[in-house]
Structure 1
Amino acid sequence: MHYREITRVVVHTSAGAPLRDFDIQVLNQSEKWWDTVRTVDYATTTTFTVTFPPRVARGVRVVAKVGPSDQPDQVRVAEIQAFAR
């Protein structure tokens, strides 16, 4: 199993269906649950950088809660980048 100490995540969405509200989560070392390291509300860009104190994890996920105002139930995540220390 490969674990890394993650400190930053960059999320890229599309102009047609950007994320507005979302959570960034990392897979806990026990791999039994996901920890929310950052909640973002009312994002206005298609690229969003999230920094947080170092977390040892094996995975990263984005939990989309709300999309754009004209299609709140639709979002697209084009790329997720996780950066280790």
Structure 2
Amino acid sequence: MEGFGSIVARFPQRELDIWRRCARDARFRAICSDYEEMTAALDHLLKSVGNGDPKIEEYTSFLGELEAEILGYLDNSISNEQKS
């Protein structure tokens, strides 16, 4: 399981939770993969056109949605483990 550096860099305090969830949840891995792809696309866009492209706001918004979804998965995972 490689290639989740952006999400780990964004939430370093949750790194262990991220790797554990990735190891057992294909849907979570797919969301993290989407996050990595969107991060790379945004970085490329910023380097090629700068801040003037309207897609930047759209990409940034989508990254925020993915972050919220990822944190939701992680928080749900922790609450489920505490119930067990």
Question: Could you say which TM-score interval applies, normalised by the shorter chain?
Answer: under 0.3
- Flag the structure with higher strand content: 1
Which protein has the larger Cα radius of gyration, Structure 1 or Structure 2? 2
Q: Calculate the TM-score normalised by the size of structure 2.
A: 0.22
